[in-house]
Amino acid sequence: MVDRGVNPTLAFFLRITVVVAVALVALIVAAFLLKVVLVAALIAAVIFGGFFLYNLIRRRTNYPVIR
């Protein structure tokens, strides 16, 4: 076995530190992407709702008037 000169406990600590750092970065990126997706969904919902109301009002004006 090759001796790298690093204490096994120190190597384990460094591996755990790297894993935790990568997990934190992944959580931060996921949170940012979730914010972007939520904002996009909110904008799409407002546009879709406006389109629905526009069509609802436009349809009502097309009914024949009874005199």
| Model pTM score | 0.57
pLDDT at 57: 81
d(CA 8, CA 30): 33
pLDDT at 6: 83
pLDDT at 56: 82
For the chain, 67 residues long, the average pLDDT of each consecutive 10-residue run is 76 95 97 96 96 81 65
pLDDT at 63: 64
Distance of CA 63 to the CA centre of its chain: 43
